[in-house]
Structure 1
Amino acid sequence: MARGERRRLLEGIVVLIRDTTWKCGRVERTVLEFLRNDIKGRGRARIKDMLERLEADGHKRSEFLDAIKRLEKRRIVKIMMPDSA
């Protein structure tokens, strides 16, 4: 993933589509747990907020971004990008 793509990805919002952890790795399960237990209970969160929380828990930034891309590929989450005007 290119540097520009990673920067743009950080501005996005992750939305939970399917609530399943079947065949998910450790970091992917952590991401899904964060979305499930979101304070507002909407099943969506800003990627920047999730990254700050997971880095505080000891996860690496690159592992986190790769996990989100894998979850999107498996259609468990959807990454929504803000419209650039």
Structure 2
Amino acid sequence: MVGRKTGETQRLVRAIVVLIRDTTWKCGKLERSIVRYLNMRTKGLGKPQMAVSDIIHKLELTGKKKNEFLDALRRLERRKIVRILSVRI
């Protein structure tokens, strides 16, 4: 497995995640929790988007769990369940 650059990870942490589909078929436990959290925000008359850093803070992820979370986000994007929008500062 090829290691990621720090800049790429930091860019992902500053990004915004948008829920496209509410499906968790063939997803793992972490992917399901991400989709469930974004879906709950949408059902509560909120926006279907949220900053990645806010999700990390809300799910209380640190260290290795944070890296697993970022990998899960990439898998969800590859399956076209969420879209990751980069934010330019």
Q: Under a length normalisation based on structure 1, what TM-score does the superposition of the two structures give?
A: 0.87
Per-residue CA deviations over 1:5-62 (Å, capped at 9, x if unaligned) read 0001111100011110100100000100110111552211100000111226xx8101
Structure 2 residue runs without a partner (length 5+): none
The residue aligned with 1:23 is 26
2:60 is paired with a residue of what secondary structure? helix
- Of 14, 29, 32, 1:11 maps to 14
Give ranges in structure 1 of 5+ residues lacking alignment: none
Query: 4+ runs of 1 displaced by more than 6 Å?
Result: none
Distance 1:54 1:13 in 2: 16
Who is 1:37 aligned against?
A: 40
Identity of aligned residues (%): 45
Give the distance between the partners of 1:25 and 1:14, measured in 2 at CA: 18
